[in-house]
Amino acid sequence: MTQNTRPAPFFVAESPALDFLNSVAAPRSERYDWLETGPDLLDWLIAAGLASESELAPFRKVATASALEEARQEIVTFRERFRPFVEEVCGSQLTDAAHPVIAEINAILARGARFLEIAPATRSDDPASQPLVLLDRHPLTEPRDLIVRIAFAAARLIAEADFRYVRNCEGPTCTLYFLDISKNHKRRWCSMEVCGNRAKAAAYRKR
């Protein structure tokens, strides 16, 4: 699928880890993959808020193309192992930390560089806010570090989300996942614009 015919990636999941799963999807009966190439991966990471353009600029150089492609392949392979894990545990309460995918995520996290840094706080209108903050940094020194950002997002989902509210869109051909953070936990669709309105139209025609 070329970029000219591919729609923009979907960020409807309320979780970067689930958005990662949604980086390959068939929301309109046609399969799209937003991680087809190394540059695709870099663009997606920026759009997902998992990295900045300044961090990824060194990886856009021709000299890193081979390493970037290796990193992309590792990330796509991890995506396809993470998917059945989410399929298995969504809709239930996750309590087992011995799952092989969790062990894999821990191994990825362990290989990433990390340090704490005191830095100026972002601008705030609250006069009582602290001028300095402690930031948890995960530097990207080479393309193989990119998967650490994704593993961190997956780890946060596993440790912090209630998997009873991790759901697959009810659209008959939609593959998108989301975390239902609505007040009554009644969300059914990836979005009303994509699948909700289509379902309403189908119900109307049936009536």
Confidence of residue 196 (pLDDT cuts 50, 70, 90): low
Phi, psi values for residue 129, rounded to 5°: -70, 150
* pLDDT 10s digits, 28-60: 678 899 999 999 999 999 999 999 999 999 999
Residue 136, CA distances (Å) to 73, 94, 200 in order: 27, 26, 45
DSSP letter, residue 194: I
Tokens of 153: 């997002």
**What is the C-alpha end-to-end distance of the chain, expressed in Å?**
37
Confidence of residue 5 (pLDDT cuts 50, 70, 90): confident
pLDDT for the residue numbered 207: 46
DSSP secondary structure letters along 43-57? HHHHHTTSS-HHHHG
16-206 has CATH 1.20.120.420 classification: no
- Which of 57-61, 70-74, 95-99, 114-118 is predicted with the least confidence, judged by mean pLDDT? 95-99
Domain ranges of the chain: 16-206
Average confidence (pLDDT) over 115-142: 86
DSSP letter, residue 124: -
* pLDDT 10s digits, 146-163: 999 999 999 999 999 999
